[in-house]
A = this chain, B = another copy of it.
Amino acid sequence: MNTLNATHNPSLTSWVAAANQPDQDFPIQNLPFGVFTTASQAQAHVGVAIGDAILDLAVLQQAGLINVAGDVFNAASLNLFINLGAAVWSSVRAQVSDLLRADNATLRDNAALRSQALVAQSAAQMLLPVEIGGYTDFYSSKEHATNVGSMFRDPKNALLPNWLEIPIGYNGRASSVIVSDTPIRRPNGQTKAPTQERPEFGPCKKLDIELETGFIIGRGNALGEPIRCENAEQHIFGMVLLNDWSARDIQTWEYVPLGPFNSKTFASTISPWVVTMEALAPFRVATPAQEPQPLSYLQHKPEVKYGVDIQLEVQLTPEQSQQATTICRTNFKDMYWSMAQQLTHHTASGCNTRIGDLMGSGTISGATPDSFGSLLELTWNGANPLALTDGSTRQFIQDGDELTIRGWAQGANYRVGFGLCRGKILPALAV
């Protein structure tokens, strides 16, 4: 599955000039899929990001330049396209790569078609890229689980006994997964300080991010038919950035014994572009050693690289100053449990998955304090406020703050990026 082909050639360039800039997300080696509308085109189309533009696959198919069986690009989600299977994903990627190559005149020199098929990203409205039937969130960063356990339970036994055996996960709320740049209203909820006799209902006081990635199911499994670990990656279409917004004070009061609920279900933001596993193939790395060795159903093949080297960072921008501060830099490659292990465990009971399902990694925290993937950890539950570049400080998110996650796999002279996963906090509704 990690085989490289002509689309991965680092020396490829595109006639879309912006795609050849080294520090932007969408070179010709990336070609992520998304869904968009424009002011003049209310019908959603599937497109591919290239430089500062979007290539409209519906227009190209209509023009006979993309060969795919079925009307899958005049669609409000990628699900129909994904349903065609991995060979078609790869074929479309190869066709798009070919059309966009600097030396291919077909579209490059057809001004009329180009003006229809190439849309400026600044002129497009991105939609949620997939219809998400199920959203599962895992908890697979050992550093994150250790930090949380140290803070709220016992620093000497920070990891719970099951953590090293199970890729712990829980069901999230699919209905409130939203696309980047959808504003988020601060949730109201029940909270109770230890000094209070009764809880109160009002605006969350500890609003937080969770820096995550997510993977999108590309091939489902039937109920009662588990996915084996060696086949798990064949079921993954691609990856997105994910911000699993969290209301820490609501979570503290509600989560025992059945887990987080209102503290998470008010919003989860994903980036609009799904970067395919094929695009990420050059960036696969080994995952960290696991001790103890997982039970056999969770064991990796030694010869396969299950990790992905994805650099991640988070910026916080207060409304008033508009000055961004980078509050976290980390990397996906250090996650303890792999996506393959997560999916294997998820389905081991017989649970079915479906095309478009979203599986979150869990908060991605590194080993150093500047690599923690949540304000909870970065400020150690508010004890150590962050100093922002505009002179203000933060324990948790304030109204008007905009949080932006960026992520990219770094190639020699290009990066395979995810675009932005961004959201701004609106004040809570009056109670």
What interface size band does chain A fall in? 35 or more
* Residue on B nearest A426 in the bound complex, by CB: B224
**A166 in the interface (beta carbon within 8 A):** yes
- A296 CB contacts on chain B under 8 angstroms: 201
User: Contact: B349 with A266, CB < 8 Å?
Assistant: yes
* Residue on B nearest A182 in the bound complex, by CB: B223
Could you tell me the distance in whole angstroms from the C-beta of A137 to the nearest C-beta in chain B?
8
User: Contact: B354 with A133, CB < 8 Å?
Assistant: no
* Residue on B nearest A204 in the bound complex, by CB: B349
**A352 in the interface (beta carbon within 8 A):** yes
A261 to B175, CA, bound (A): 19
| Contacts A160-B257, A295-B201 given; does A265 touch B349 at CB 8 Å | yes
User: Contact: B166 with A254, CB < 8 Å?
Assistant: yes
User: Contact: B176 with A173, CB < 8 Å?
Assistant: no
A349 to B261, CA, bound (A): 10
Could you tell me the distance in whole angstroms from the C-beta of A252 to the nearest C-beta in chain B?
10
The interface-forming segment of A81-89, A187-195, A303-311 is A187-195
User: Contact: A261 with B171, CB < 8 Å?
Assistant: yes
Max count, chain B CB within 10 A of own CB: residue among A170, A188, A255: A170
Copies per complex?
Answer: 2
- A429 CB contacts on chain B under 8 angstroms: 224, 226, 350
User: Contact: A351 with B162, CB < 8 Å?
Assistant: no
**A385 in the interface (beta carbon within 8 A):** no
**A134 in the interface (beta carbon within 8 A):** yes
**A156 in the interface (beta carbon within 8 A):** no
Max count, chain B CB within 10 A of own CB: residue among A165, A257, A357: A257
With A165-B199, A189-B349, A201-B348 already in contact, 7 other A-B pairs whose C-beta atoms are closer than 8 Å: A162-B199, A166-B190, A168-B254, A173-B351, A176-B223, A198-B295, A223-B266
Binding site for B on A (CB under 8 A): 133-134, 139, 160-162, 165-166, 168-176, 178, 185, 187-190, 192, 198-201, 223-224, 226, 247, 250, 253-263, 265-267, 292, 295-297, 345-346, 348-354, 357, 429, 431
- Which 8 A-B pairs have CB atoms at the shortest separation, nearest pair first? A259-B259, A187-B349, A171-B171, A170-B258, A265-B351, A262-B349, A266-B349, A185-B224
